Amino acid sequence: MARVLITGGTGFLGSYLSRFLTERGDHVTRTYFVDPDPFLREVARTGETVHLDVRDPKEVASVLERARPDTIYHFGGQPYVRPSWEDPTGTFRTNVEGTIHILEWLRLNAPKTKLAFAGSSAAYGIAVHQPIPEDEPLLPSSPYGSSKAAADVICYQYCVSYSIPIFRFRIFATTGPGKSGDAPNDFATQVAQLERSPPPRVLKVGSLETRRDFSDVRDTVRAMWTIVERGTPGEAYNIGSGVTRSMRAIVEGLQRLAKEPIEVREDEARLRRVDEPVIHADNRRLKSLGWAPEVPWERTLEDLLDHWRSHPPAAAPAPK
């Protein structure tokens, strides 16, 4: 039985990963910064939870000393693009300095502990090559992407300089029941609300021409575990389905599943300042480890819609 610490472990990815690892028999400790969402608490099912502000090196040291994990999955941070434009300094403090605090503790106290860093495809920015390979230059187009790129490079440096076994995830769009703020969940939330509303039933959207490489969260957490178990320390690994879908196709898929006819209308407030036209993962390095996506996209959409039908929010979250 491995001892695992998941920073940000009560969030979306951390909760699903916690359940996956617990079901495998690992002892999981999850950290939180804000109170966990009730549904995600249900998803995770079990595991000790402790408070952690990754910006505080003393708190980082205290939590890691107490947990003494064999593996750390590092999700703790500021996870959204839009807030990073409003607070780039805070985003860097959390995502870059927070990562350094963990790396420094490992360097000084437990250099053999595995660290899986949850990086992002946002680090690539508007990539020249599609699908995007791991050796694509990191040229991010947002403060969030820049913070993830910086932390990614620092993780590589600590692996090379101090032989800490670090695995760098570059996670492409991941969705699933319980996530707030991404486009499929935003659309599904609105559809579920509109089904309960009188006409006119109008779905508000941003650009429908962009294409994204979406994975189901259940496939994503399997990919993470596969990389840590079978991957090469120091390497970067794209985590994505290898298939792109337009926002329009996602909306149309939800329209087909809706119980009532729904119109679509562009909402200027949902347009991003910078929006890459295509983000497509070259996932051959990941697939070489024996991983392949298993959850059909149609099931993902059905699960999203069913979730928001049974868990209606007070107000539909805007995409972040």
Q: Is the pLDDT of residue 224 over 90?
A: yes
| Residue 74 covered by a domain | yes
CB 208 within 8 A of CB 246: yes
How many domains would you assign to the chain?
2
CATH code where residue 161 lies: 3.40.50.720
**Parallel, antiparallel, or unpaired for β 245-246 and 211-212?**
antiparallel
Q: Do the domain assignments include residue 289? A: no
48 lies in some domain: yes
Q: How far apart are CA 134 and CA 121, in angstroms?
A: 10
**258 domain-assigned:** yes
CATH number, domain of 271, equals 3.90.25.10
Which tens digits make up the pLDDT trace of 205-220? 999 999 999 999 999 9
My answer on whether 55 and 185 are in the same domain is no
Average pLDDT, the chain: 95
| The pLDDT of residue 298 is above 50 | yes
Torsion angle of alpha carbons 264, 269, 275, 279, nearest 10°? -50
Angle, helices 57-67/98-109, rounded to nearest 10 degrees = 50
Shared domain check, 203 and 83 = no
Quick one: 157 and 22 in the same domain?
Answer: yes
Does 139 share its domain with 235?
yes
Spatial contact of 117 and 153, defined as CB atoms under 8 Å apart: no
pLDDT tens column, 16-65: 999 999 999 999 999 999 988 899 988 987 778 999 999 999 999 999 99
Bond prior to 133 in cis (omega within 30° of 0): no
Domain that holds residue 235: 3-172+217-239
User: Cβ atoms within 10 A of the Cβ of 51, count?
Assistant: 11
Residue type, 150: A
